[in-house]
Amino acid sequence: MYDPRQLQVLAEVARTGTYTAAADALGYTQPAISYQMRMLERSVGAPLVTRRGRGVQLTPEGRALARHAGTVLAALRTAEDELAALTAPEAGRIRLSAMQSSCVSLVPRALGALRRTRPELEVTVTQAECRVSHGLLLEGEVELAVMCDLDFREKERETGRETGGERETDRSDSTGGPPDSTGDPSVTVDPRLRRVPLLTDRRCVLLPADHPAAASPTVSLADLADERWVLESGRTRFLAACRDAGFAPLVAATADDQLTLHSLVANRIGLAVMNELGVTAHFDPRVVARPLADWPVRRVFALLWPDTLRIPAAAALLHALRDTARPTNDTPVPP
C-alpha cells in the first residue's frame, strides 16, 4: 500500500513540475521531496519522473499513479470532513469554487439562505474559471464546484470551430466551448464526479434603456452592427460571431468587471454582452438587458465527488444552491 504522504508529494510534483516548487507548496525541503519520491518509486518498482530542463516530467507510470493519487487524497479529505462532522454535529466547514457570474448572483443568494438555516456552517468561496475549479475538485482542495457548459445540441453544431469563454474568452466559466460561456473547450468533466443540474443561463446584450432595440424581446448582432461596444478582454468568440454577422465591432472600451460594464453602458460608452447570471446581479434603471437571439444557453451545474454528499455541510450547501437556482430559470431578464 502506498504512503498517502508520498502520494501527496507526487500529486504536487505533477502539478508544479519541479521538486523545488512542490517543496515550497508543501512546506518541505527539496531533499525531503527527493527522498519521498525515491521511496515511492521503490514501492512502485519503476521510475515516476524524468528530468526535463530545470524541472521534471512524469513517466507513464507516474502519470497513472498521479491520477489515482488525486482520487485517494480527495477521498481522505472527504473522510476527514465526514468524521469531523460526526464528532461535532453542530459545526461544519465546506469549500466551494465557483465561476465569476455565479459569484455575483447565485452563490451569494445561496449562502444567504444557508446562513439563515445553518448559521454554524463555515463556507469558503474561491472564484475560479471552470478549468481551475475542476482541478481543485480533483485535487481535493474544494468539496463542491459551480460550473457550466453549453446546450449539447449547440456543441454538436460548433464542433471544429474556435471557442471561447463567459467573458468571450478561451478560458473562464465553462467546460464547453460556447460563444457565451467562460471556459476552455478542452476541459472534460471527470466521469467519476457527480454532476447536479442547477439552471440554464442565456447570453444577453446590455443596452441603454431608451435604445431602439430595447423595445424588442430579443436582439441579434446583425441589427447592432453600427454600435460601439464595451467588451471584456477575452472576446474571441464574440468577434467570430460578429464576423459571421457581417461586421467588425467598434470597441470603445475594455473591462472585465461586471459592475464596470453596467456603468459604462449606463453612461452610453457602448453596448456590452453578459450572461444572465451577471445581469441579474446589478440593477440600474438606465440599462436594460435583452437575450441575444440564436445564441445557445449555458447549463449551470454543481460538481462534486459522489461520497461528498455524505458530509452534512456539503449536502446543506448543495441543497441551498438548488433551492436558490430553482426560481432563477423563471426570473425574467431585468427590463
pLDDT per residue as tens digits for the range 140-180: 889 999 998 854 333 333 433 333 333 333 333 433 333 33
- Highest averaged pLDDT of the listed ranges 28-32, 98-102, 266-270: 266-270
Q: Which CATH architecture has domain 4-68?
A: Orthogonal Bundle (1.10)
Give a three-class secondary structure readout of the chain.
CCCHHHHHHHHHHHHHCCHHHHHHHHCCCHHHHHHHHHHHHHHHCCCCEEEECCEEEECHHHHHHHHHHHHHHHHHHHHHHHHHHHHCCCCEEEEEEECHHHHCCHHHHHHHHHHHHCCCEEEEEEECCHHHHHHHHHCCCCCEEEEEEECHHHHHHHCCCCCCCCCCCCCCCECCCCCCCCECCCCCCCCCCEEEEEEEECEEEEEECCCHHHHCCCECHHHHCCCEEEECCCCHHHHHHHHHCCCCCEEEEECCCHHHHHHHHHCCCCEEEEEHHHHCCCCCCCEEEEEECCCCCEEEEEEECHHHHHCHHHHHHHHHHHHHHHHHHHCCCCC
Under the banding of pLDDT at 50, 70 and 90, the label for residue 86 is low
Residue 263's CB is within 10 A of a number of other CB atoms, namely 17
31 or 70: which leads in pLDDT: 31
Equal CATH topology for 72-200+297-330 and 203-291: yes
CB contact set of 230 (below 8 Å; sequence gap of 6+): 251, 252, 253, 254, 255, 261, 264, 265, 269, 270, 271, 272
CA 54, CA 18: separation in Å to the nearest integer?
A: 7
- Mean pLDDT value of segment 275-286: 84
- Phi, psi (5° rounding) for residue 176? -105, -175
**What pLDDT, on a 0 to 100 scale, did the predictor assign at position 157?**
39
Question: CATH says 72-200+297-330 is which class?
Answer: alpha beta
* pLDDT for 58 beyond 70: yes
Dihedral angle sign, alpha carbons of residues 43, 44, 46, 51: negative
How does residue 98 score in pLDDT terms, banded at 50, 70 and 90? Answer: very high
Chain-centroid distance of CA 125 in Å reads: 12
List the domain boundaries for the chain. 4-68, 72-200+297-330, 203-291
**How many CB atoms are closer than 10 A to CB 36?**
22
253 pLDDT higher than 90: yes
Fold of the domain spanning 203-291: D-Maltodextrin-Binding Protein; domain 2 (3.40.190)
pLDDT value at 183 more than 60:
no
* C-alpha cell, 331: 426570473
Asked whether residue 257 carries a pLDDT value surpassing 90, the answer given is no
Crossing angle of helices 4-16 and 30-44, in 10° steps, is: 110
